[in-house]
């Protein structure tokens, strides 16, 4: 798996991790895992196809243009989450098409314990893949639904972690623009992981010209200026929290 802490600069922008892999092959058998235990993991992992070194498995979630699936790195046996963006569906929305690769580029800039880590970027003729760490705890909305309520200490912990994550984004010049409880996952240690940078923006990133006046976000959480096409800044994320 690509090293996650390697720094590089593209068009003057500092990125961490790796360059996206363009036009990888689909459904090409990966090298076998070493050892019987690892081999069992590979054989027992339900999957519908292979992309590069990853087996793409069951669906974890779905949006308008993308699906999130469980994945498995075929050489290490590590389970991951894979966001699969359908280029054909994305073509129906000019904004999505224009900014297709921005989500991955923004996530490459960010390293924080409460923000989901991007591990790899792959691209085929029809799809764009963002490979991320898997958060087995599900999202915070489901946790609250199951438990009916949170203990005060739990709520304090989650809010504190969210605030630290958003503060880190803003220091890096990134505005998330779609903060909502569905975009807060829980890892194996019950820590918050902020996800979904599909609507995020970062001033000057790789020449993108999307202004901080674009109407976007989820109406139930969005600040008034996000919905009224007025010029805005990082404070829209504070409103959403």
CA 12 and chain centroid, separation: 23
Sign of torsion, CA 28 34 36 41?
A: negative
Calpha distance 186→134 (Å, rounded): 10
Return the active site residues: 178
Q: Report the SS3 class of residue 146.
A: helix
Q: Do the bridges between strand 49-51 and strand 54-62 make them parallel or antiparallel, or are there none, so unpaired?
A: antiparallel
Calpha distance 160→163 (Å, rounded): 5
Check the annotation: does 83 bind a ligand.
yes
Q: Are the beta carbons of 91 and 47 closer than 8 angstroms?
A: no
Whats the size of the chain, residue-wise? Answer: 241
Task: Extract the annotated binding site for ATP.
Answer: 83
Task: Extract the annotated binding site.
Answer: 83
């Amino acid at each position: 798996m690509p090293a996650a802490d390697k720094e590089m600069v593209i068009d003057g922008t500092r990125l961490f991790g790796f360059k996206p892999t363009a036009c990888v092959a689909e459904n090409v058998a990966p090298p076998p895992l070493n050892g019987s235990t690892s081999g069992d993991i590979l054989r027992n992992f339900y999957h519908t196809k292979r992309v590069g070194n990853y087996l793409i498995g069951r669906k974890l979630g779905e949006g308008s243009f993308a699906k999130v699936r469980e994945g498995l790195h075929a050489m290490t046996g590590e389970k991951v989450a894979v966001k699969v963006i359908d280029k054909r569906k994305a073509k129906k929305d000019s904004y999505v098409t224009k900014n297709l690769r921005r989500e991955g580029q923004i996530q490459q800039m960010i390293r924080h314990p409460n923000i989901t880590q991007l591990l790899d970027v792959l691209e085929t003729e029809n799809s764009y893949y963002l490979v991320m760490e898997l958060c087995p705890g599900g999202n915070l909305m489901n946790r609250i639904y199951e438990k009916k309520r949170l203990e005060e200490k739990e709520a304090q912990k989650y809010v504190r972690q969210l605030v630290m994550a958003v503060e880190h984004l803003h220091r890096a010049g990134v505005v998330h623009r779609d903060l909502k409880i569905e975009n807060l996952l829980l890892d194996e240690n019950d820590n918050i992981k902020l996800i979904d940078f599909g609507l995020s923006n970062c001033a000057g990133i790789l020449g993108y010209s999307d202004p901080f006046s674009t109407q976007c976000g989820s109406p139930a959480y969005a600040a008034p200026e996000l919905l009224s096409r007025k010029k805005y800044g990082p404070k829209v994320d504070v409103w959403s929290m």
